């Protein structure tokens, strides 16, 4: 009995499934990538401790948890603070605006407040921390 060797067909790798995987990865990365523009906020910094030769009037905004804001010892919503800062800067263009966050305030909440105030205050913003 003689058995003839039949040549077996080579199994080729199907490219259809590979193309599907590449397409799914392409769609995933397109949807997960954000194309938002990163913005920088310019903040004034202190140049060390020293004596102040002249007293400059300034506005203090206290940022607290749960979007509680105080402007010059008056509690008000952020929209009213922005209007008050705008009015103050129309009277005196170089009026300093000090922003004081409470300890352990989430950074995103502080950045949201600074970003909203920076629209009207520009470069007149400084972050302060109360030392005891």
| Per CATH, domain 59-127 is 1.10.10.10 | no
% the chain with pLDDT above 90 = 5
Distances (CA, A) of 53 to 44, 50, 56, 128: 19, 9, 9, 19
Cα–Cα distance for residue pair 42/115, rounded to 1 Å? 10
Cα–Cα distance for residue pair 75/84, rounded to 1 Å? 12
Q: Where are the domains of the chain?
A: 59-127
Supply the pTM of this predicted model: 0.56
Asked if pLDDT for residue 24 goes beyond 90, the answer is yes
The pLDDT value recorded for residue 60 is 86
């Amino acid at each position: 009995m003689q058995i003839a060797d039949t040549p077996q067909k080579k199994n080729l790798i199907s490219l259809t499934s590979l193309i599907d995987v590449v397409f799914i990865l392409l769609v995933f990365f397109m949807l997960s990538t954000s194309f938002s523009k990163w913005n920088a906020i310019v903040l004034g910094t202190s140049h060390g401790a020293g004596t102040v030769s002249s007293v400059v009037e300034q506005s203090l905004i206290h940022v607290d948890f749960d979007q509680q804001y105080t402007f010059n010892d008056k509690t008000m919503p952020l929209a009213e603070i922005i209007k008050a800062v705008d009015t103050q800067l129309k009277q005196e263009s170089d009026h300093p605006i000090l922003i004081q966050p409470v300890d352990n305030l989430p950074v995103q909440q502080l950045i949201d407040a600074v970003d909203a105030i920076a629209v009207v205050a520009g470069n007149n913003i400084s972050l302060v921390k109360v030392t005891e």
